[in-house]
């Protein structure tokens, strides 16, 4: 039984080779404007990941962004 790891991780074949949904950095700019951040988090959001610790922290920030974005959208609908 073959497993489609690319599909499982959201990786698709794009025009310029392999791309995935994690390459989209537009959420980072949006999140910077949503709330105040620590200098370390702001640097991470603007500069990108340098190692495993940064990748973990960026994932945590992305979950927080999704939560705040959902709350913001719900408030706009009311």
Its pTM surpasses 0.75: no
Residues 3-54 pLDDT 10s: 444 444 444 444 454 445 656 789 999 999 999 999 999 999 999 999 999 9
Tokens of 22: 């994690």
Q: Given this model, what pLDDT does residue 5 score?
A: 44
In a domain, 52, yes or no: yes
- Is the residue at 14 inside a domain? no
pLDDT at position 22: 56
Q: What is the DSSP string of 23-52?
A: G--HHHHHHHHHS---HHHHHHHHH---SH
Residue 50 domain-assigned (yes or no): yes
Q: What domain range is 44 assigned to?
A: 24-77
**Residue 67 near residue 27, CB atoms below 8 Å:** no
Give the integer Cα–Cα distance in Å for 69 and 25: 15
- Provide the domain count of the chain: 1
The model's confidence at residue 78, banded by pLDDT at 50, 70 and 90, is: confident
């Amino acid at each position: 039984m073959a497993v489609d790891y690319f599909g499982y991780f959201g990786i698709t074949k794009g025009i310029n080779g392999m791309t995935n949904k994690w390459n989209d950095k537009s959420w980072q700019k949006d999140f910077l404007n949503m709330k105040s951040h620590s200098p370390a988090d702001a640097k991470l959001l603007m500069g990108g990941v340098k190692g495993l610790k940064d990748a973990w922290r960026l994932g945590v920030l992305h979950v927080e962004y999704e939560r705040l974005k959902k709350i913001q959208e719900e408030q706009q609908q009311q």
